[in-house]
Amino acid sequence: MVPPLAPNPPPIAPGENRVALHGMDWVAYCQMRSLLNERTRARLTYDRGTLEITTPSEAHEFYARLIERFIIILVVELGMRVKTLGSTPLDREDLDRGAEPDNG
């Protein structure tokens, strides 16, 4: 029996699309990010040569916004300050990693 080449991928939510590209360098990641960010709502995650491109599902977006609202209400009620960064890319070339969160 031949062992599988990769572990089983995590389940994909209905409506969510995901593709992984292997063997990409940091420069290629940066180029893909600049091209895709201007044209699509895709989110990119880069980890040491592997670039994953994801387009979130409608349900994901709904719950992400709902959780964001709960947090904002909680912060206001507690009299705290909050700094939102949106989906600002969290890139670390020195670690050869980058990610684009929903909201930070």
CA 27/CA 23 separation, integer angstroms: 12
Instruction: List, in order, residues 6 or more apart from 54 with CB less than 8 Å away.
Output: 16, 17, 18, 42, 43, 44, 45
pLDDT value at residue 103: 64
Q: What is the pLDDT of residues 33-81, one digit of tens each?
A: 888 876 677 888 999 999 999 888 888 888 888 998 998 899 999 999 8
Domain ranges of the chain: 17-99
pLDDT tens-place string over residues 69-94 = 998 899 999 999 887 777 678 899 99
